[in-house]
Structure formats: structure tokens, C-alpha cells
Structure 1
Amino acid sequence: MKIAIFFGSISDKGIMKNATEILKIFNVNYKCYIISAHRIPEILINTIKKVESEKTDLIIAGAGLSAHLPGIISSRTIIPVIGVPIYSKNGLLGGIDSLFSIIQMPKDVPIAAVGINNSYNAALFSIHILSMKYPEIKKKLIKFRINIKERLLNEIEQDL
């Protein structure tokens, strides 16, 4: 099992790091690529072909501002893409511009999307998808969810 994580700028690294942390918990292999869809599209296209040849299961793609990276990736592969809209200090809309760009994909170019800056949920959603194919991931995910529930119940009891 393998996930490819794309983001368009080195400045997105801090946001996308949250995805890698959850993937490490589940021992899911991943590789990160920093490639601008607008500035070096030919490298992006070649990298998508490489990712496909490596039998990658899913792609997580984070992008800010116009946020075309997830859509361009989805248009070039049948590997499912989860888009992460990223807030950019250069933008005026607080990341909503990126969110709209990712969720308003045209018919026939699907992308799943998570909340602004929420690469953690993108990775966790990837884990849910992988759990349908890989029984060992499913077992870990069930245990993970039970642990979350127990932790929350403990916090509630401590507050009472």
C-alpha cells in the first residue's frame, strides 16, 4: 500500500506534515512531492505517471490560492485524489478560494475534499479507504477508533 502526497509549494510543507504523522501511525508508506502545477506542469505529468507505475493506492494533494493541483492530478490519473485546500497568507479569502477551487470540479473529474488545512483528515480518510482493501489496516483503524472513544470518555469523566 502506498500514498503519494503532493503539494504545490515548500510553504505548504507544515500543513501537509500532519498527513504524514497519521500515515506513520498506521505504517502506511508514502512519498511527498513538491511540484507546482502551474510553474512546472511537465514535471507534474511525469511524476503522476511514475506514481501510477509504483502501484500507488491514493493521492493526497494540497494546494492554496487557485488550488489547481488536485484537479490537474485527477484529470491525469484514475488514482483517487483527496484535495486539501490550504490557506495562503498571499490570498484574501482565508483559504475559501482554495476550498471552492477544489470542491467545484467539473463533471467527470472527481476529487474528495477535506476542510481548509486539514491534511490530517485527508490522511485518515485515506486510511478508511485502504481499510477496505488491507485487513491489517482495518484492524488498526478499529483499534484507533476505540482508543479515541475511550480517551474522550475519560476526558468527560474527569470534567465531571
Structure 2
Amino acid sequence: MSAKVAIFMGSISDKDTMQPCSDLLTKLGVPHVFTVSSAHRTPERTANLVKELEENGCEIFICAAGLAAHLAGAVAAKTIKPVIGVPICGSPLGGMDALLATVQMPPGFPVGTVALDKVGARNAAWLAAQILALHDAELAGKIREARQGFIDSVEQAAAELEGR
């Protein structure tokens, strides 16, 4: 089966930050690719990857970058598929530069932007899965099951804390 989601990172240094995204997609059974491509250093590679992946059935692109963080926007310029941006902390500005660069897109080229770093990486995977689950009942069931697990863990922690 071809990849339904593509995870692009602007630099290999972002691998540890984005690994939870790939891990969660794997756990949910979502076929995906996980690679490095830079909006600035390898723009042709980025455009070619988007084209090839789309032709092979990719439905969602997750793009992680820091500093100028143009990767998500560069991908959004090449596809009408959903693009999810994960801003990465990589400068003395604490990620605010990447956040603003990712979220401030011109009309018609949106990037759904999640939180910074590993929290954003996980939520990008959850959001991609939820989009795919619109037409995949099995995946929707896995998401519901995971959510119930989150609920159960909070209820259990509350019961233990309260001595129940």
C-alpha cells in the first residue's frame, strides 16, 4: 500500500523531534514516509517528492521546520492536499519565528499549524489520522479507542489520588 501521509523535515537534526509523529502513525497503521527535504537547500527535491507522492496516493503532508520554516508553505504551494505544519524551536527566538512563518500563509495556500516540537509532532499525526478517518471506519475506531484510553488513564489517576 502506498503512503497516505508524508512527513517532511527541513533538516535531519529534526528527526528526534519528529519521531513521535512517525511512531504514532505506525501505531495507528497509517502508511507513511518519513524523510528530509529543505524548502531552501533542496527545493527541486521537495517539489518532486510532493508530485511523486501525490501520484502514488499520498493524501496529507506534514512538514516540520525551524528558523524561517518555509517548508510547509513550499509544500502547500505545490499541492491542494492538506498540509500540516510543525514549527520547530531552533533559534534564540524560542520557535516563535518558526511558528509565525508556518501559520502566516497567504489566502488560498493554508497550512494547518500545530504546536511546537514533539507535542506538535504527535498532534500532527493525530490530525492527519482524523482527516483520513473521515473515510476510514477502521482508523476512526482506533482513534476512538485511543481517546478512551486517555479518558481511562485520567479517571484512574483521579481515583488513585482520591483513594478510591
- After TM superposition, the score normalised by the length of structure 2 is 0.94
Q: Secondary structure at the match of 1:76?
A: coil
Shift of 1:127: 1.1
Distance (whole Å) between structure 2 residues aligned to residue 80 and residue 115 of structure 1 = 17
* Identity score, percent: 36
Distance (whole Å) between structure 1 residues aligned to residue 27 and residue 150 of structure 2 = 14
Q: CA RMSD in A?
A: 0.9
Q: Secondary structure at the match of 2:77?
A: helix
Give the aligned residue type for 1:9.
Answer: S
Distance (whole Å) between structure 1 residues aligned to residue 31 and residue 147 of structure 2 = 21
Please name the residue that 1:28 is paired with.
30
Q: Deviations over 1:78-130 (max 9, x none)?
A: 11000000011xx1210010000011111111010001112001001111111
Please name the residue that 1:153 is paired with.
155
Corresponding position: 1:81 with 2:83: yes
Q: Secondary structure at the match of 1:63?
A: strand
- After TM superposition, the score normalised by the length of structure 1 is 0.96
Shift of 1:60: 0.5
Distance (whole Å) between structure 2 residues aligned to residue 92 and residue 156 of structure 1 = 39
Corresponding position: 1:41 with 2:32: no
Please name the residue that 1:61 is paired with.
63
**Alignment length, in residue pairs?**
158
Please name the residue that 2:140 is paired with.
138
Distance (whole Å) between structure 1 residues aligned to residue 158 and residue 27 of structure 2 = 25
Distance (whole Å) between structure 1 residues aligned to residue 54 and residue 76 of structure 2 = 12
1:109-120 alignment to 2 at 5 Å? 109-117=109-117, 118-120=120-122
Please name the residue that 1:100 is paired with.
100
Give the aligned residue type for 1:8.
Answer: G
Please name the residue that 2:11 is paired with.
9
